[in-house]
């Protein structure tokens, strides 16, 4: 689970939206180092679920931000509130937006769960990592109004 967070501009005290203008993505582009960073994180946390955020622009990931799973559970995640807030602050300071959320299902399923759909707080790409025979794979999904659409994850060697 990811908590809905609103950031405020420190000068104007106006609320800021890291997610405005994002419409459903059909493709999410990642560099090999982003793919590997997520895979290392979910592998290092197994058998517990791992989670994190993907910062970027448009449909391209620019940074992977690991966030601690406060639940410390093999079947559920809830991002540590302070780490999540700090990550959002960093994303904003870099002039980026939230383009994705990732978490793992160490024992399956290889898709979003009913809980993932019910608790989706942001309309961004949800990357689900799952492990079968000790091999990690990932799939992307767009969750909007409890409707799920698969998103193509493209690992790009060049931009």
Q: Which residues are catalytic?
A: 49
- What is the CA 135 to chain-centroid distance, rounded? 20
**CA 78/CA 48 separation, integer angstroms:** 12
CB 129 within 8 A of CB 140: no
| Residues 59/30, Cβ–Cβ less than 8 Å | no
Spatial distance between the Cα atoms of 92 and 5, rounded to a whole number of angstroms:
12
């Amino acid at each position: 689970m990811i908590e809905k967070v609103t950031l405020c501009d420190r000068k104007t005290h106006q609320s800021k939206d890291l997610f405005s203008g994002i419409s459903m993505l059909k493709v999410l582009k990642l560099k090999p180092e982003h793919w590997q960073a997520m895979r290392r994180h979910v592998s290092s946390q197994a058998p517990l679920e791992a989670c994190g955020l993907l910062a970027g622009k448009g449909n391209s990931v620019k940074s992977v931000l690991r966030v601690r799973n406060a639940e410390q559970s093999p079947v559920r995640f809830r991002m540590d509130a302070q780490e999540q807030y700090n990550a959002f602050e960093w994303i904003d300071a870099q002039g980026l937006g939230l383009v994705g959320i990732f978490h793992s299902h160490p024992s399956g399923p290889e898709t979003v769960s009913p809980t993932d759909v019910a608790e989706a707080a942001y309309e961004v790409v949800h990357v689900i990592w799952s492990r079968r025979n000790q091999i990690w794979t990932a799939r992307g999904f767009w969750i909007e109004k409890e409707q799920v659409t698969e998103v193509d994850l493209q690992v790009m060697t060049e931009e």
